[in-house]
Amino acid sequence: MNVYVSVDMEGISGIVHGEMMMPGEREYDRGRRLMTSDANAAVEGLVKAGASFVLVNDSHGPMRNLLIEDLHPAAHLISGSGDAKEYCQLEGADSRPFDAAVFIGYHAMARTPGAIHPHTIAGAAVAELRLNGRPHGETGLNAAVLGSFGIPVVLVTGDSATCAEARAFLGDQIETVAVKEACGRNAAICRPPSATRPEITEAAARALRRAADIQPYRPERPWRLEVDFLTMQQCDRAARITGVERTGPVTIAIPGDDPWQQYRVLWAAIRAALYEPASWLG
């Protein structure tokens, strides 16, 4: 069995603050170790349940967070700059037929109360993302893109708000592991990794054994994919991307009937929105 694993950072065991999530911050190395350990716990469970190939995509921020020297030997790692990844958190999902997907360390969508660092793809630019009129975060959007390939998401780990969001979009049949409960954007009631990692391993194993019974998430097509940006300047830059339609002062739409291509255009548009020109161009 082939399994695709996308690993973010905000929803990792014990991670609660921005200083644990970004290069140059004083606790970033600690955050990387925690992230790698949760990923390993999932891979271990997938292998126990019969996975023969596990592709792990580093899906957070700089996308070079996971420590390959400490990674589970059964894993294959996609690591590298987001500028080099055409498909962001789903890079490589089209590289072979996958039987299931797992999201580790995911976070809640933008504007979610009671969550650790809630945002959608890029908190510095995206106010809200909608798929067919319904606000989606990374969990729902990524599951929908994978669903267009017939790949079910069988496990999501993160804080309690993220797990609730995952069940709301993907159904109660999926496995979830809530590793913490937020009590503020930068604070949570955490369970120690010694407790959460065995749970992640067992949940991954159960989920993969039941993968054939879990339905992919498939919103009605063609998709109406829309993004509201925080500023008009961000929308200006995003609207220059081929395949993007501007529908309002801070809103774009990405039409089409190929979710994989729409996702690629979305990521290109968000990268453009995030670009800050040199002062002499501003």
Strands of the chain (E only): list them.
2-7, 53-58, 75-78, 100-106, 126-131, 134-135, 153-159, 175-184, 187-190, 225-229, 245-248, 251-254
pLDDT of residue 281: 59
pLDDT of residue 83: 87
**What digits encode the pLDDT tens for the residues 241-272?**
999 999 999 999 999 999 999 999 999 999 99
**What digits encode the pLDDT tens for the residues 205-226?**
999 999 999 999 999 999 999 9
Q: Is the pLDDT of residue 195 over 90?
A: yes
pLDDT of residue 267: 97
> Could you give the residue range(s) of every CATH 3.30.1360.130 domain in the chain?
225-274
Report which of residues 24 and 278 the model is more confident about: 24
Summarize the confidence of residues 5-23 as an average pLDDT.
Answer: 97
Kindly list the strands in the beta sheet with 187-190, ordered across the sheet, starting from the edge strand earlier in the chain. Answer: 75-78, 53-58, 2-7, 100-106, 153-159, 175-184, 187-190
pLDDT of residue 9: 98
Q: Is the pLDDT of residue 164 over 70?
A: yes
Task: Tell me the pLDDT band of 16, cut-offs 50, 70 and 90.
Answer: very high
To the question of whether residue 10 is assigned a binding role by annotation, the answer is: yes
**What digits encode the pLDDT tens for the residues 65-119?**
999 999 999 999 999 998 899 999 999 999 999 999 999 999 999 999 999 999 9
**What digits encode the pLDDT tens for the residues 28-55?**
999 999 999 999 999 999 999 999 999 9
Q: Which fold has domain 225-274?
A: Gyrase A; domain 2 (3.30.1360)
> Could you give the residue range(s) of every CATH 3.40.50.10780 domain in the chain?
2-213
Residue listed under structure tokens 């589970």: 72
To the question of whether residue 175 is assigned a binding role by annotation, the answer is: no
Instruction: Give whole-number Cα distances, 158 to 113, 117, 174, 198, in Å.
Output: 15, 11, 14, 15
pLDDT of residue 174: 98
To the question of whether residue 8 is assigned a binding role by annotation, the answer is: yes
Summarize the confidence of residues 165-174 as an average pLDDT.
Answer: 98
pLDDT of residue 276: 76
pLDDT of residue 279: 63
**% of the chain surpassing 70 pLDDT:** 98
Q: Which residues are catalytic?
A: 119
Considering the domain 2-213 in this protein, what is its CATH number? 3.40.50.10780
**What digits encode the pLDDT tens for the residues 114-140?**
999 999 999 999 999 999 999 999 999
First CA to last CA distance, the chain: 50
To the question of whether residue 94 is assigned a binding role by annotation, the answer is: no
